[in-house]
Chains A and B, each alone.
Chain A
Amino acid sequence: MPQFWMEDFAPQMVWLVISFIALYLLMARVALPRVANVLETRHGRIADDLDQAAQLKAQAETVISEYEAALAEARAQAQATIAQAGAEAAAAAEKRNAEVAEALAAEAAAAAERVMAAKNDALTELRGVATELAQAAAERLLDGSVEAADVEAAVDAAMPENTNGS
Chain B
Amino acid sequence: MTAERHIDHSSPMHQFVIGRLNDWQLGGLDISFSKAAAFMFGAVIVATLFLVLTTSKRAMVPGRWQSVAELWYEFIADMIKETIGSEGRKYFPFVFSLFSFIVMCNLLGMLPYSYTVTSHIAVTITLALSVFILTTFIGITRHGTHFLSFFVPKGVPLVMLFLVVPIEVLSYFMRPISHSVRLFANMTAGHTMLKVFGAFVVQMGVFGVLPFALIVALTGLEVAIAVLQAYVFTILTCLYLNDAIHLEH
**Nearest opposing residue in chain B for A26, CB measure:** B48
- Is the C-beta of B215 less than 8 angstroms from some C-beta in chain A? no
Contact partner, A23, options B36, B43, B58, B126, Cβ 8 Å: B43
| Chain B nearest CB, measured from A53 CB (Å) | 17
- Is the C-beta of B221 less than 8 angstroms from some C-beta in chain A? no
| Chain B nearest CB, measured from A30 CB (Å) | 6
Known pairs A15-B40, A23-B101, A27-B93; A32 contacts B73 (CB<8 A):
yes
Asked whether, in the complex, the Cβ of B73 is within 8 Å of the Cβ of A12, the reply is no
The CA of A4 and the CA of B188, in the complex, are separated in Å by: 12
Of B5, B47, B51, which is in contact with the most chain A CB atoms at under 10 Å from its CB?
Answer: B51
Asked whether, in the complex, the Cβ of A2 is within 8 Å of the Cβ of B70, the reply is no
Contact partner, B122, options A12, A19, A41, Cβ 8 Å: A12
Which residues of A have CB within 8 Å of B142? none
Which residues of B have CB within 8 Å of A31? 47-48, 51-52
Which residues of A have CB within 8 Å of B83? none
The CA of A2 and the CA of B101, in the complex, are separated in Å by: 22
**Nearest opposing residue in chain A for B22, CB measure:** A11
Asked whether, in the complex, the Cβ of A12 is within 8 Å of the Cβ of B18, the reply is yes
The CA of A28 and the CA of B93, in the complex, are separated in Å by: 5
Chain A residues near B (Cβ < 8 Å) = 1-5, 7-17, 19-20, 22-24, 26-28, 30-32, 34-39, 41-42, 45
Q: Which 9 A-B pairs have the closest CB atoms?
A: A15-B37, A31-B51, A28-B93, A19-B40, A9-B122, A2-B16, A23-B44, A35-B73, A10-B30
Asked whether, in the complex, the Cβ of B7 is within 8 Å of the Cβ of A2, the reply is yes
| Chain B nearest CB, measured from A41 CB (Å) | 7
Contact partner, B17, options A2, A16, A41, Cβ 8 Å: A2
- Is the C-beta of B92 less than 8 angstroms from some C-beta in chain A? yes
**Nearest opposing residue in chain A for B28, CB measure:** A10
Chain B residues near A (Cβ < 8 Å) = 5, 7, 13, 16-18, 20, 29-34, 36-37, 40-41, 43-44, 47-48, 51-52, 55, 58-60, 62, 66, 69-70, 73-74, 92-94, 96-97, 100-101, 117, 119-123, 126-127, 184, 188
The CA of A10 and the CA of B127, in the complex, are separated in Å by: 14
The tally of CB-CB contacts under 8 A between chains A and B is: 134
Known pairs A4-B121, A19-B40, A19-B41; A34 contacts B29 (CB<8 A):
no
Contact partner, A3, options B34, B70, B74, B119, Cβ 8 Å: B119
Known pairs A15-B31, A26-B48, A27-B48; A32 contacts B41 (CB<8 A):
no
Contact partner, B58, options A2, A9, A16, A38, Cβ 8 Å: A38
Contact partner, A38, options B16, B37, B48, B70, Cβ 8 Å: B70
Which residues of A have CB within 8 Å of B123? 12-13, 16
The CA of A41 and the CA of B74, in the complex, are separated in Å by: 15
Contact partner, B29, options A14, A27, A41, Cβ 8 Å: A14
Asked whether, in the complex, the Cβ of B96 is within 8 Å of the Cβ of A27, the reply is yes
**Nearest opposing residue in chain B for A42, CB measure:** B60
The CA of A4 and the CA of B13, in the complex, are separated in Å by: 12
The CA of A36 and the CA of B76, in the complex, are separated in Å by: 12
Known pairs A1-B16, A11-B31, A32-B93; A23 contacts B100 (CB<8 A):
yes
| Chain A nearest CB, measured from B176 CB (Å) | 14
Asked whether, in the complex, the Cβ of A2 is within 8 Å of the Cβ of B18, the reply is yes
**Nearest opposing residue in chain B for A45, CB measure:** B60
**Nearest opposing residue in chain B for A14, CB measure:** B31
| Chain B nearest CB, measured from A80 CB (Å) | 56
Asked whether, in the complex, the Cβ of A35 is within 8 Å of the Cβ of B188, the reply is no
The CA of A5 and the CA of B32, in the complex, are separated in Å by: 14
14 contacting pairs across A/B (C-beta < 8 A): A2-B7, A3-B121, A8-B34, A8-B120, A9-B122, A11-B30, A11-B33, A14-B31, A15-B41, A16-B122, A19-B44, A22-B41, A24-B93, A38-B62
